[in-house]
Amino acid sequence: MKIFLIGFMGCGKSRMGKNLSSKINRPFIDLDTLIESTQHKTVPEIFTELGENGFREIERDLLQNSAIADDAIISTGGGAPCFFDNMDWMNANGLTIFIDPPVKVLADRLINAKTERPLIKGKSFDELVLFVEDKLKERRPFYEKAQISLHGVSLTPEILLEELEKKGIKLV
């Protein structure tokens, strides 16, 4: 079964995906990295050249039409669940897990991130907190369609595996 990690940018999807991948010996795919490798451009370059709509179309096509292994752990971009029918498609084709840390934690991680993120470029910390709050209000209805939700800051693969076991899902 495919495992889709969803949540706002900076929530820890990629970190959790890599750690979980090594713990349960399954392939890990970061959807943004897959987009960059297939398009031969960075996400910011794609946003600049095609706009957010163009980026979202590429994202949907790779998510839904690429040959991602059935046992893969996939870290999606923060907006991926919120466009087209992506969230419904992920729920129908695997297990969706929403990683949900507090807003100020997200803002702190994003302001200190080494990766350029087109949607937050140039924002101060206070502007970033407001942006995250607003975007989360828009996106939360999509995120909350996930089959599993993990809330908190110090989430580990062990915590995730415990939550899955409580729901009768064993990955190891």
Confidence of residue 74 (pLDDT cuts 50, 70, 90): very high
Contact 129, 107 (CB under 8 A): yes
Indicate whether 121 pLDDT > 90.
Answer: no
pLDDT band at residue 113 using 50, 70 and 90 as cut-offs: confident
Q: What is the pTM of this model?
A: 0.93
- Cα distance between residue 24 and residue 26, in whole Å: 6
Q: Biggest alpha carbon distance in the chain?
A: 45
Residue 21, φ and ψ in degrees, nearest 5: -55, -45
